[in-house]
Amino acid sequence: MSTDPSASRRKAPIERAAEITRAAREIALDEGLSALTLRAVASRIGVTPALVSHYQPSMDSLVASTFGAIVAAEIGEVAEELAPCETAVAALQTLIDTLLGPERSTVTAVWLDAWSLGRRHPALAVEVGVQMDAWQAFLAVLLNTGCARGEFRAIDPDAVAWQLLAIIDGLNAHAIVRYGHARRLRGLVRTVAEHELGLRSGALGPGDDSGRRPEPDHPPAPITVPVC
């Protein structure tokens, strides 16, 4: 139970609602979405479950909105990291390095929770779809911008965005359960991206984090992709 002396004092509704929202986010990031319960939120801020229920009568809705807020914040953070990049190639390289870095593991765990819990919670399932679309749109804008500038060549940049996100999500999911190492497999994502976007080999960085690109067993076939 929280020992914060301000927790039990009477607060304005907007202040109490914000406190509950903040506590829900902290619980989700610290312990996972499955730990986000009425009692857990109440304990975190030092109030009764009944008070939390007054402000959040539906825990399913709170779980969904908490997940949405966490993912939306992540997109904003990544956008800030990409802002200084002067080219679409540099921005894509930064995005791959960022999303497959250990710094994002906490949010990756929240994503895994959402995919699993969403099977039984319709509100969460809807929010997962919304946020997956938001990520795809974010990456698609980057790829389409690169095509418009002549940096990338792809038939369908929107489809490539889905493809890259699927690979990144899969590698991160493996890493969460300590199967493989997402950072060491960045080269796989880079290689796929280079192929799908008509980039020269190595344009997005080395094949692995050792700075060495593994040699293929056979020479790669030339890539012929029409300009967007």
CATH number of the domain enclosing 4? 1.10.10.60
* Enclosing domain of residue 160: 61-216
**Pairwise pLDDT comparison (209 vs 45), residue with the higher score:** 45
Residue 65 lies in a domain: yes
Q: Is the pLDDT of residue 222 over 60?
A: no
Residues 96 and 164 in one domain: yes
Residue 131 lies in a domain: yes
Residues 188 and 174 in one domain: yes
**Model pTM score:** 0.81
Q: Is the pLDDT of residue 4 over 90?
A: no
Show which of 57, 74, 89 is a domain's final residue: 57
- Look at residue 65 in the predicted model and tell me its pLDDT: 96
Residues 71 and 96 in one domain: yes
Instruction: Please give the average per-residue pLDDT across 156-160, as a whole number.
Output: 97
Find out whether 22 and 34 touch, Cβ atoms under 8 Å: no
Cα four-point dihedral sign 124, 129, 134, 139 = positive
Residue 221 lies in a domain: no
Residue 222 lies in a domain: no
Model confidence over 99-127: pLDDT tens digits? 998 888 899 999 999 999 999 999 999 99
Residues 205 and 178 in one domain: yes
Residues 201 and 143 in one domain: yes
pLDDT mean across residues, the chain: 86
Residues 43 and 96 in one domain: no
Residue 224 lies in a domain: no
In whole angstroms, what is the distance from residue 10 CA to residue 105 CA? 37
Split at pLDDT 50, 70, 90, the class of 207 is low
Q: Is the pLDDT of residue 57 over 50?
A: yes
Split at pLDDT 50, 70, 90, the class of 181 is low
Q: Is the pLDDT of residue 163 over 90?
A: yes
Residues 97 and 77 in one domain: yes
Find out whether 197 and 143 touch, Cβ atoms under 8 Å: yes
Cα four-point dihedral sign 74, 100, 137, 200 = positive
Instruction: Please give the average per-residue pLDDT across 162-174, as a whole number.
Output: 92
Residue 228 lies in a domain: no
Residues 29 and 126 in one domain: no
Residues 150 and 92 in one domain: yes
Residues 176 and 73 in one domain: yes
Q: Is the pLDDT of residue 226 over 50?
A: no
Residue 116 lies in a domain: yes
For the chain, percent of residues with pLDDT exceeding 90: 72
**Pairwise pLDDT comparison (13 vs 41), residue with the higher score:** 41
Q: What CATH number is associated with residue 166?
A: 1.10.357.10
Burial of 99 (0-12, 13-18, 19+ CB in 10 A): buried
- Look at residue 186 in the predicted model and tell me its pLDDT: 84
Show which of 10, 32, 57 is a domain's final residue: 57
How many structural domains comprise the chain? 2
Residues 39 and 82 in one domain: no
For the chain, percent of residues with pLDDT exceeding 70: 83
